[in-house]
Structure 1
Amino acid sequence: MEFITDIAMTIVAQLQKPTLAFLIGGMVLAALGSRLEVPEPVYKLIVLLLLMKVGLSAGMAVREADLISLAVPALGAVAAGIVIVLLGRFVLLRQRGVTEMDGMATAGLFGAVSASTLAAGMAMLDAEGIAYEGFIGALYPFMDVAALLTAIVLARMSAERKMVASGGADGTATVTMSGSGGGLNGDLVRDILVDTLKSPAISALLLGLGLGLLARPDAVYESFYEPLFRGLLSLLMLVMGMEAWSRLSDMRKVAHVYVVYGLTAPIIHGLIGFGFGLLAHHLTGFSAGGVVLLAVMASSSSDISGPPTLRAALPEANPSSYVGTSTGLGTPVAILSIPLWIAMAERFIGS
């Protein structure tokens, strides 16, 4: 009972802080019919600067990081991304009315990572004075790419099997996969990986990571990116709050299972990430803050890199299913659940 009370008090305290306050403020404005909007080019610039900041800080930290300390949580991030997609596939494809492509696209999006949710988690830990490894941002692409690759490859494999099974009278079928150049093979997996790495979010993050690792961007980081970070994040939360409210109407177009999934999956996925983080903590001394952020990444669903990647790779999937579920329900739940992971870390690990 005391544990539940502590979590409730932590959540109430976090609701009053800028990160969540701006998210809720955006939702309230949208609910009241406000015409306030942030121009799309400005939004893209905000996202670019946030990802560059996360990548630069991760790259500079990796320069000094112990490879073993980095490798174990990185493997945990990969494993979490794959497990989340497989779990989503198992749950969603058993529900009536959920198509193979819609289910896999939704599972892939929820297995991938929201950079803005990760940034929100970092901001909350900074506000609480909870330390975490500087290379945490480098774990983002490990989970993101693993989840998207798993979802896309499984969806295409399933589609190919169904096309072969429903072949002509002679028992044969010609399988042509869009953008794959033929059946499922090494070239297809390579193409999927290349497309994912070329997505704007992953490209910006990897650029920042590379510059932080190979160059010496400390001065521009401290004078430009770091001072702007919290202000830009507050604007991003405002935009996401308004978008989350507007997309709630999309849920009327899809099966009710997506509503249940969007509300419950972030918590379950966060527990998976927390479990892998706790394992890394016992193996390598991974910090409590690092465990929290691994849970945050697992609970989040991609709002930047995932949708365009899935739209290009799985054009048959209905965007209102996976984007509406993710942005309209998954992202707010993931952000609101961050205090839960902080409270659990304090309970099981200590600050």
Structure 2
Amino acid sequence: MSLASAALLSPPVLCFGLGALACALRSNLRVPAPVFEAVSIYLLLAIGLKGGAELAETRWSDFAAPAAAGLALGVLIPLWCFVALRRLAGFGVADAAALAAHYGSVSAVTFIAVVSYLERAGTPHEGFMTAILALMEAPAILVALLLARMAGPKAESGPGDGLAAALHEVISAKSFLLLVGGLVIGGLIGKTGLAPVRPFFGDLFLGFLCLFLLELGIVAAQKADAAWQAGGRLLAFALAAPLVNGALGLLAGHLAGLSEGGAVVLATLAASASYIAAPAAVRLALPEANAAYSLAASLAITFPFNVVLGIPLYAALAAWLYG
């Protein structure tokens, strides 16, 4: 209960709630688009730089098993999500594949939230988890799109064209470039080279995160209507998927030799759902899918659940698992 209280009373979560309240009251409160764009660039580059600096001091033998665990989750999660959405929830091929892509991929903002949570709680974690985040972003999208090609009617242009376009969309996306670019820069300069800019990319991080989540609270509340219109099956999946995926991530992290904090991060990554890279790729490769389903589920249901309740739950489960 103390973990949940700490999460609920943290400044980023409270700012998210303020944004949702503003939407409910039909306030004109919004973070200006240019400011939101700048803040998102800052956050993604900051976590990339920090992760790269940590990765530069990490032995390959320590990184290999967690990296393999992350890639395995990127394949397993979209597989079970697609089957469950098709056979249990009754979604069509395109919608099931689109949801599987979103839930198999990861959310950089949820990653930022769990890292901030662990830092406030004083729980250490492996610095190379940012690299795991980058590794997990694309594979699940490609797996889900391949499942759609195998289960649905063949596209006139052939399955390879859609997958190639989706892969290019993911790799060229702002979030991916900033994360990977930050990792490379951080790896090249190391912690010593990062020191001069640490006050900007480190000390101000939480304040920028509050602004970012304020706007996301507004956006998530706006998407809530689409989630309700999809019915109970979408709501049930959007709440069950992070629990199942979080448990898989926690177990995978433990088996891969991660620390307790690292396992919490991997569990949160597995439990998260993409609403940046996946929508762009799915829009290109599966234009027939209903985008409202995926965005409403990932942004209006799963994201708030993870930020408010999921992260402290995964932390509590990790504390029990690690004894």
Alpha-carbon distance in structure 1 between the residues aligned to 2:286 and 2:92: 12
Residue 49 of structure 2, aligned match among 26, 51, 56: 56
In structure 2, how many angstroms separate the alpha carbons of the residues matched to 1:190 and 1:289? 36
Structure 2 partner of 1:239:
215
Q: Among residues 300, 303, 306, which one is paired with 1:328 in the alignment?
A: 300
Deviations 1:153-206 (Å, cap 9, x if unpaired)?
2112323xx34xxxxxxxxxxx523xxxxx234x66444333211111111111
The alignment's C-alpha RMSD in Å is 1.7
Do residues 11 (structure 1) and 37 (structure 2) align?
no
SS in 1 for 2:87: coil
Structure 2 partner of 1:275: 251
TM-score, structure 1 normalization = 0.87
Aligned position for 2:284: 312
8 Å contact from structure 1 (residues 192, 313) kept in 2: yes
Contact 1:19 1:123 in 2 (8 A): no
Q: Distance in 1 between matches of 2:303 and 2:187?
A: 30
Q: Deviations for 1:16-69, whole angstroms, at most 9, x for unmatched residues?
A: 111222222222222222210012222121111111011111111111101021
Counterpart check, 1:201 vs 2:194? no
In the alignment, residue 176 of structure 2 is paired with which amino acid? I
- Check conservation: 1:111, 1:147, Cα contact below 8 A: yes
**Match in the other structure for 2:146:** 153
Structure 1 contact 19–124 (Cα < 8 Å) conserved: no
Deviations 1:65-94 (A, max 9, x none): 010211111111111121110111111011
State the distance in 1 between where 2:68 and 2:54 align: 18
Q: 1:96 to 1:264 in 2, by over 3 A?
A: closer
Which residue does 2:311 correspond to in 1?
Answer: 338
Give the 5 Å matches for 1:64-103: 64-95=57-88, 98-103=91-96
Equivalent residues of 1:109, 1:302 under 8 A apart: yes
Is 1:297 equivalent to 2:269 in the alignment?
yes
Q: Distance in 2 between matches of 1:41 and 1:106?
A: 29
Residue 176 in structure 1 maps to residue 156 in structure 2: yes
CA contact (8 A) 2:114 2:311 kept: yes
- Structure 1: which 5+ residue stretches go unaligned? 1-7, 164-174, 178-182
The residue identity in structure 2 corresponding to 1:251 is: A
Match of 1:246, as an amino acid?
Q
Q: Which residue of 1 aligns with 2:187?
A: 213
How many percent of aligned residue pairs carry the same amino acid?
32
Deviation at 1:150?
A: 0.7
Question: Alpha-carbon deviations, 1:201-225, whole Å to 9, x = none?
Answer: 1111111011111245413431321
Q: Which amino acid aligns with 1:113?
A: V
Looking at structure 2, the residues matched to 40 and 264 of structure 1 have their Cα atoms a distance apart, in angstroms, of 33
Q: Does 1:287 align with 2:263?
A: no
Q: CA deviation at 1:256?
A: 2.8
1:222 maps to amino acid:
R
Flag structure 2 segments of 5+ consecutive residues without an equivalent. Answer: none
Q: What residue in structure 2 maps to residue 263 of structure 1?
A: 239
